[in-house]
Chain A
């Protein structure tokens, strides 16, 4: 292997080392430390000046106390479970909304498709935070939605949506919709129309052709879209804290509170490490799906 090739492969590895592995090791180390009223708020602190003996002492004082604490306090595992549930339900809802949109885009005339694609991506041009605030304006008791519904006479009292779990679902579905639409659209667009004609020719109705041909062939896109929504939704913090109110329990919010409200870096780090371990499973499954798709494309 020549030098330039090694360099080329080396760059992403270096990137991962500096921006992922080292920060991860720092967080892991903090999670094994003890809480301390000092700056930064944990001990022991890493100190090279003490020499080899110092390092040995240092390593000896690390323990899994914070993890034991996480297992003891029901707050944490209920937050994990609640996050998993919210992420799963909102992934499913995003799929329900996203698939018909992707299907519509793929069946639209070819000259429309770039514009439709643009419309899907367009929300990214505005800051994510501003869009979530906009939803607060829409969903609040005096918000646009309630004003509209009262004006039409459908309801007489405003619906309470903001600061409920419903608002969280709306926020997640809205935010992550493009991540669902784009991979599904990519697989549907490649779908050979003659396959559907062949299915009809062999006795399928339009609907059964959809179930037997379109859906199985869109599966890789559906799987990719679901992971792309599920993975970030699991650790989501902004949407539950702005739209969800105090009742919504999500691990991202717990993490934030441990870190900034309680200033308990050690427990917060432990929470983050566990979250990462939970996410490794879907990420590996996602990678495997991508790999399979690449092989099938060959």
Chain B
């Protein structure tokens, strides 16, 4: 079992007395006049698989490089395992990194690459060979021990890089876009391998990625970043189901965004006036909205139902015309244009053969969603 499949068992961030492995306390990093990291507060717990997710240039790599010891924060402190890391160089930290380019030493064999860090550690020579063999078995590369990196495939190199970073049994493993160079199918297989290895070794993993699907798959918690700030730190399902901002909702997965003004806030429920003469949308209320605020209603396409007849029992129902159908095999996404010009995407599973599908281009259809399907978030 892995961390993401058993969130009820593994959730140290909900336990008030859990001791974090990493603590970033008011960390700011400036490069000249450019602020790469802006006053970040973050705790990461032992055995977590933590993902830093964001577009390129959001500062996720800078956080990772500060944890590794390649950069020092301009302000604030980084604590790893209770020790302040200020002034501790990369080679003195119980942190190892798997580089995006893998950074395998081209002049050394696979086995020598794995032994490289061990030879620099207090481990006695006699034990190094055993540890290297153990790491080779872990990543299933025993047969390739005497090969040079250029004689390996991309996937094999990726595994060597992982094994090399794990060989010294670091407290914290940093992974910089570890699967970026692999093709999609291999990437998906490797994601599960990564989770498996993380579980076996019990190491805390911090992964940097711009691929939201990858972050959702592997991570116990995700930090969504933008312009040097943390937008939201939560479990993948929380990030997906209850994003705290339109930015997060838009960054993770596909989403419909309808802008309007808040007409009612009643505890967890709220209503949004979105078009002249249209019925207000009822949805869950996000944080910090109050009546007459500008706000946006966000709903995932798979939570929008599509029908040819009016679902009169639903409060949230709108009529529109099918403009486009994206057939994805297992499901189809319908792009529906509403009377006021808004485009709403609705997803439906193709549980019938396509020839039997009742809806086609330019049909007038009804879209509907429950009162709890979407969120109204401040803009």
A195 & B103 in contact (Cβ 8 Å cutoff): yes
B91 & A217 in contact (Cβ 8 Å cutoff): no
Annotate B77-99 by CB proximity to A: 1 below 8 A, 0 otherwise. Answer: 00000000000011100011101
Tell me whether A296 is interfacial, beta carbon within 8 Å: yes
* Complexed CA–CA distance, A47 and B275 (Å): 110
Chain A nearest CB: distance from B169 CB in Å?
A: 13
* Complexed CA–CA distance, A194 and B176 (Å): 12
Annotate A262-282 by CB proximity to B: 1 below 8 A, 0 otherwise. Answer: 000000000000000000000
Closest to A208 in B: B120
A213 & B91 in contact (Cβ 8 Å cutoff): no
Annotate B60-72 by CB proximity to A: 1 below 8 A, 0 otherwise. Answer: 0000000011100
Tell me whether A202 is interfacial, beta carbon within 8 Å: yes
Tell me whether A216 is interfacial, beta carbon within 8 Å: yes
Closest to B90 in A: A200
* Complexed CA–CA distance, A198 and B105 (Å): 9
Which of A194, A204, A217 sits near B99, CB closer than 8 Å? A194
Chain B nearest CB: distance from A6 CB in Å?
A: 34
B107 & A203 in contact (Cβ 8 Å cutoff): no
Closest to A193 in B: B103
Q: A201-B91, A201-B97 are in contact. Are A194 and B106 (CB under 8 A)?
A: no
A192 & B89 in contact (Cβ 8 Å cutoff): no
Chain B nearest CB: distance from A41 CB in Å?
A: 55
Cβ contacts under 8 Å, B68 to chain A:
197, 201
Q: How many residues of A contact B (CB 8 A)?
A: 19
B120 & A202 in contact (Cβ 8 Å cutoff): yes
B91 & A200 in contact (Cβ 8 Å cutoff): yes
Q: A203-B168, A217-B106 are in contact. Are A198 and B97 (CB under 8 A)?
A: yes
A203 & B101 in contact (Cβ 8 Å cutoff): no
A194 & B91 in contact (Cβ 8 Å cutoff): no
B99 & A198 in contact (Cβ 8 Å cutoff): yes
A201 & B96 in contact (Cβ 8 Å cutoff): yes
Tell me whether A205 is interfacial, beta carbon within 8 Å: yes
Chain B nearest CB: distance from A295 CB in Å?
A: 10
Annotate B294-309 by CB proximity to A: 1 below 8 A, 0 otherwise. Answer: 0000000000000000
Tell me whether B144 is interfacial, beta carbon within 8 Å: no
A217 & B96 in contact (Cβ 8 Å cutoff): no
* Complexed CA–CA distance, A164 and B164 (Å): 54
Tell me whether B238 is interfacial, beta carbon within 8 Å: no
Tell me the chain A residues, 183-209 only, with Cβ under 8 Å from chain B. 192, 194-195, 197-205, 208
* Complexed CA–CA distance, A97 and B91 (Å): 30
A202 & B101 in contact (Cβ 8 Å cutoff): no
Closest to A203 in B: B120
* Complexed CA–CA distance, A255 and B165 (Å): 60
Q: A200-B89, A200-B91, A203-B168 are in contact. Are A194 and B103 (CB under 8 A)?
A: yes
Interface centre among A194, A201, A216, A219, by most chain B C-beta atoms within 10 angstroms, is A201
Closest to B170 in A: A201
Closest to A216 in B: B107
Cβ contacts under 8 Å, B107 to chain A:
216-217, 219
Tell me whether B121 is interfacial, beta carbon within 8 Å: yes
Which of A192, A204, A219 sits near B91, CB closer than 8 Å? A204
Tell me whether B117 is interfacial, beta carbon within 8 Å: yes
* Complexed CA–CA distance, A208 and B116 (Å): 12
Chain A nearest CB: distance from B92 CB in Å?
A: 8
B103 & A203 in contact (Cβ 8 Å cutoff): no
Interface centre among A194, A203, A296, by most chain B C-beta atoms within 10 angstroms, is A203
* Complexed CA–CA distance, A202 and B168 (Å): 8
Chain B nearest CB: distance from A204 CB in Å?
A: 6
Instruction: Knowing that A201-B95, A217-B106 touch, tell me 9 more A-B residue pairs with CB under 8 angstroms.
Output: A194-B101, A197-B90, A198-B99, A198-B105, A200-B70, A201-B69, A202-B168, A203-B117, A203-B120
A: which residues have CB within 8 A of B?
192, 194-195, 197-205, 208, 212-213, 216-217, 219, 296
B: which residues have CB within 8 A of A?
68-70, 89-91, 95-97, 99-101, 103, 105-107, 116-117, 120-121, 150, 164-165, 168
30 residue pairs bridging A and B, Cβ less than 8 Å apart = A192-B101, A192-B103, A194-B99, A194-B100, A194-B101, A195-B103, A197-B70, A197-B97, A197-B99, A198-B103, A198-B105, A199-B105, A199-B116, A200-B89, A201-B69, A201-B90, A201-B91, A201-B95, A201-B117, A201-B165, A202-B116, A202-B120, A202-B168, A203-B120, A203-B121, A203-B168, A204-B91, A217-B106, A217-B107, A296-B106
